[in-house]
Amino acid sequence: MNLLLLHPHQYLHDNLWCLDERQGRHVRDILGLAEGDTFRAGILDGDVGVARVESIKNNEITILFNVESHPTPAPSLSLLLALPRPKMLKRILIDATSLGIKRIVLINSWKVDKSYWQTPNLKAGLLREKMLLGLEQARDTSLPELILAPRFKPFVEDELDRWAGPGRRLLAHPGDFPPMPCDLSEPVTLAIGPEGGWTDYEVEMLQRQGFECHSFGTRILRVETALPALVGRLMRLP
Amino acid sequence: MNLLLLHPHQYLHDNLWCLDERQGRHVRDILGLAEGDTFRAGILDGDVGVARVESIKNNEITILFNVESHPTPAPSLSLLLALPRPKMLKRILIDATSLGIKRIVLINSWKVDKSYWQTPNLKAGLLREKMLLGLEQARDTSLPELILAPRFKPFVEDELDRWAGPGRRLLAHPGDFPPMPCDLSEPVTLAIGPEGGWTDYEVEMLQRQGFECHSFGTRILRVETALPALVGRLMRLP
């Protein structure tokens, strides 16, 4: 936790906030802070700044929070991701969020096992919890918008164009395609397939929506490795 | 496992090889192959090609292997990595290997917990096992060369220059530095610090060995996220 995220319901009055149990444990037991000590905090979907421990009474910790700046800017990169296997979904959401991705669609694909859509990991609360961990890691406050698209064709045909909006649409796909570009200044929508890749039919459907195929080398990478590798390549550094 | 890796001691005669227990389980139980079926295989530190199941007798599987091509080329990227926490070391080694990194130094740093050097994970056999998994993932055969450098100063002062050799030496470091470049055609040695970063003293020592500081944005990333993001950015795609 590199930034403590304050949620609106934690506000008391006069810039005072109360910490929840997990935050309290972090401040007291991991950071080992006492009254008067300061640490970095931010308001969910708001600004970042410095918090000072005002009082520690049993399990109740009150802090005074002062805004210092806007959160770190995010790359203009939206992610269309074939639903990963449940074990990796959590990690991928933390990673995607820490890398600054603000718009994510988890979509079905021929090679996504149907059972993945039944997993309890897909409950909105759990997805949100993982994205909050990603924000705390990257010192960000702005929660990504996450959409589930359990049917590929209707989403791609009827909604994807509007969702992706302006900018380039890129697809990492093995084959004789131009290499994946890097350091792009325009907005990007990146499509990442399941283990085993999109089917030809799915690639055609995405191409019809303006996605360009690009090669990312001949190595087969796990989705959780390919995602940061592609984002690190595409994103424009300030 | 996208490529079955054959080790020299598995060779029988006339291009016939016997599978070990893990490989046998993969071929029989996961791929569900029978006599006559084919799959992709490669010889450790050698070429890749196609294997055909010759015989399955109880737990003994014999295959016929025919070379087709050299393994996928690797990016010219060496990695100087502060020893990660044990839980993540395995995953980082699999990732680094699947991304094609062939030269790795795990080095000490002020912020590396001393206990990390005592972990059983650092046994050569276990490190090698993880790198083999990375090769199988990426359909590669060429095992990385891995060096442990439990003392920072002597390695950096006396050995790093020779080890890194020609090419650029890059350090991702927060601050007012030029952005991390991308798609580099020359060889690169990349230094990645521990959680919390290199100390100022360590950065100075690395700079004295020709490492240039570059910014990789203001987000704090976990090492296991930063590594693929940086490699994906730096590597030259064919």
- pLDDT tens digits, B99-138: 999 999 999 999 999 999 998 889 989 999 999 999 999 9
Averaged pLDDT, A124-147 = 96
Distance (Å, whole) CA A128 – CA A93: 9
Q: Contact A182/B179, CB-based, under 8 Å? A: no
Pick the residue of A69, A225, A227, A234 with the most B CBs within 10 A to test the interface with B by mutation: A225
* Contact between residue A95 and residue A137 where contact means Cβ atoms under 8 Å apart: no
Express as a percent the part of chain B with pLDDT over 70.
Answer: 100
- Contact criterion met (CB < 8 Å) for A182 and B231: no
Contact B238 A179 (CB under 8 A): yes
Cβ separation B98–A218 shorter than 8 A: no
User: A238 vs A47, A157, A159, B178, B184, CA distance in Å?
Assistant: 20, 34, 31, 9, 19
Partners of residue A36 on adjacent β-strands: none
Residue type, B228: P
- Give the minimum alpha-carbon distance from B134 to chain A in angstroms, rounded to a whole number: 9
Measured between CA atoms, how close is A111 to chain B, in angstroms? 16
Least Cα separation, residue A231 to chain B (angstroms): 7
- Minimum CA–CA partner of B221 in chain A: A138
pTM check: above 0.90: yes
Q: What angle do CA A68, A71, A74 make, to 5 degrees?
A: 160
**Over the stretch A68-119, which tens digit does the pLDDT of each residue have?**
999 988 889 999 999 999 989 999 999 999 999 999 999 999 999 999 999 8
Cβ contact B212:B168 at 8 Å: yes
Hey, is B160 helix, strand or coil?
Answer: helix
Confidence band for B86, pLDDT divided at 50, 70 and 90: very high
Task: Enumerate chain B positions whose Cβ falls within 8 A of a Cβ in A.
Answer: 2, 72, 95, 98-100, 137-140, 179-180, 182-183, 215-222, 225-233, 235, 237-238
**What ipTM goes with this model?**
0.95
Q: How far is B231 from chain A (nearest CA, A)?
A: 7
Q: How confident is the model at residue B21 (pLDDT cuts 50, 70, 90)?
A: very high
Contact between A206 and A191 (Cβ < 8 Å): yes
Query: In sequence order, which ranges of chain A are alpha helices (DSSP H)?
Result: 21-25, 86-98, 124-138, 152-154, 160-164, 200-208, 223-234
